[in-house]
Amino acid sequence: MTTTAHDLLEKHYYQIESRYSILSSGKYTTLVTANGNSATPIHRWFRMKEAYSSEMLGQVLNDTGLDGLRTLRLVDPFSGSGTTGVSAGDLIRRGDLDESRVTAMEVNPFLHLVSRAKMSGHMVGPLRIQTVAGHIARRALTEQDGLTEIPSLTTFANPDYFPTENLRNLLALKASLTTILRETSDAATSDLLHLALASAIEPSSNLRRDGRALRLTAGKARTNPINIFLDAVETIAHDIDKPRIPFTASVSLQDSRRLPQPVQPSHDLALFSPPYPNNIDYTEVYKLEAWFLGLYSSSEDFSLQRRQTVRSHSSLRWGEQYGFRDGKNVKLIEALLAPVLDAIPDDRYRRGRQEVVLGYADDMLATLRFLHASLDVGGRMAIAVGNSMHGKAGNDYVIASDLLLAQLAEVAGFHVDKIDIARYPKRRTARSAYLRESLVFATKERQDA
């Protein structure tokens, strides 16, 4: 029997795995998805399918022994919908923490707004946003402020995607929101109302966010975005109607791979879920909201945005710029990636797929180095990550991101404590034991990397 590149890759993963403590504690099985977040205050303001559970942070603190801390300094370089930061505020409200300071980054301008608005939900206290929203809705109904221009993304001009009446209502809402907010300088009110408007966009279209794409689902559109907007504001007003707590969060619109220096102050925990090389292009998936809110000025701007994301998808050719090749661990990283690169089928997609593997490792190493510098000695890191399958059946290969991240974390100076396998997908195949979702736990043991 001949040994194939696939067999060599499985052996490679086996050898990496044998260096670590691997377990399936079952504690994370239900926490690696967003299930439950739609019923949880603040988290429910905008559903991000790729988010993890609002209970993830509590479990990680418990598991790492950091649950003894009364003040938690937390960093998340891939904030997404803000689950990590918002959960820290939840723990204060439950009495499990006295105080928390969160540093978060997100490169997608719409998700940046979602994170910022949600985290402000633990900071602002009661606001009169329902009254303001009522004014906006009344003015929109009579089109008192006219309509804003249709965004230049062609999707909006197609009535199969956006029923004409719904689009008109959305544009009237945006026009009135802009007029009213000119008189209110309060940044939190502005963020919360923009988030409520954004939450009406997909439901009032015939498009459904479905994994990697937006799909046409005829007849899906709910009528009247104005009512969806008002319902969203009511939920937000309800969730913020609470006393303030000692919670501070700073969310920056930032490419986490290009952070020049550690963020201050130092942190106790880095908890995050990075993009995985599973071909989800977040720029594409959240484009309706970003375009509608005017967060892209042109299609060049949109393309530029895509280039700033982690090299986790092959919807672009990335070129072959790899920072690790200038560093001292180049041989080690090449040896780590070679069996993955060799297992990629020799077809017209090969170069593009190889660029993703090399680019992904390069991007993750840059982020892990930054996180190492941003943690205190003794600080912990927990990464929720999914491994992914690529190629056609019989000629497929798995990118075991959990094992690659564990090895790259060591290169960045971390000690890897354990890998806790959260779950295996339903479409598990006998071809690979490595298709799974895991949590990788690591500790910063020394100051130097």
Q: Which residues bind ligand SAM (CB under 6 A)?
A: 48, 50-52, 77-78, 80-81, 83, 105-108, 111, 255-257, 272-273, 275, 282, 308-310
The radius of gyration computed from the CA coordinates of the chain, to the nearest angstrom, equals: 23
Nearer to ligand SAM, 105 or 124 (CB): 105
Q: Least distance to ligand SAM from the beta carbon of 233, Å?
A: 22
Q: Least distance to ligand SAM from the beta carbon of 192, Å?
A: 18
Distance CA 301, CA 291 (A): 11
Nearer to ligand SAM, 148 or 235 (CB): 235
Q: Which amino acid is at 39?
A: A
> 275 near 359, Cβ under 8 Å?
no
Q: Least distance to ligand SAM from the beta carbon of 145, Å?
A: 32
Measure CA 198 to chain center: 17
**No. of helices (H) and no. of strands (E), the chain:** 14, 12
Q: What is the largest CA-CA distance in the chain?
A: 76
> 449 near 327, Cβ under 8 Å?
no
Q: Which amino acid is at 299?
A: S
What's the token pair of residue 350?
Answer: 């090969």
Nearer to ligand SAM, 272 or 292 (CB): 272
Q: Least distance to ligand SAM from the beta carbon of 355, Å?
A: 16
Nearer to ligand SAM, 339 or 359 (CB): 359
What's the token pair of residue 59?
Answer: 């479990």
Q: Least distance to ligand SAM from the beta carbon of 276, Å?
A: 7
> Do you know the residue count of the chain?
449
Q: Least distance to ligand SAM from the beta carbon of 232, Å?
A: 18
Q: Least distance to ligand SAM from the beta carbon of 163, Å?
A: 29
Q: Least distance to ligand SAM from the beta carbon of 254, Å?
A: 6
Q: Least distance to ligand SAM from the beta carbon of 304, Å?
A: 13
Nearer to ligand SAM, 279 or 308 (CB): 308
Q: Which residues pair with 380 in a beta bridge?
A: 269, 443
Nearer to ligand SAM, 189 or 256 (CB): 256
Nearer to ligand SAM, 48 or 119 (CB): 48
Burial (CB count <10 Å: 0-12, 13-18, 19+), residue 106:
buried
Nearer to ligand SAM, 59 or 309 (CB): 309
> 385 near 438, Cβ under 8 Å?
yes
Distance CA 362, CA 380 (A): 22
What's the token pair of residue 407?
Answer: 């090895």
Q: Which amino acid is at 245?
A: I
Q: Least distance to ligand SAM from the beta carbon of 6, Å?
A: 27
- Three-state secondary-structure class, residue 171: helix
Nearer to ligand SAM, 53 or 204 (CB): 53
> 86 near 114, Cβ under 8 Å?
no
Nearer to ligand SAM, 40 or 256 (CB): 256
Closest residue to ligand SAM, based on beta-carbon distance: 80
What's the token pair of residue 398?
Answer: 């798995």
Distance CA 57, CA 415 (A): 20
> 77 near 91, Cβ under 8 Å?
no
Residue linked to tokens 């043991």: 445
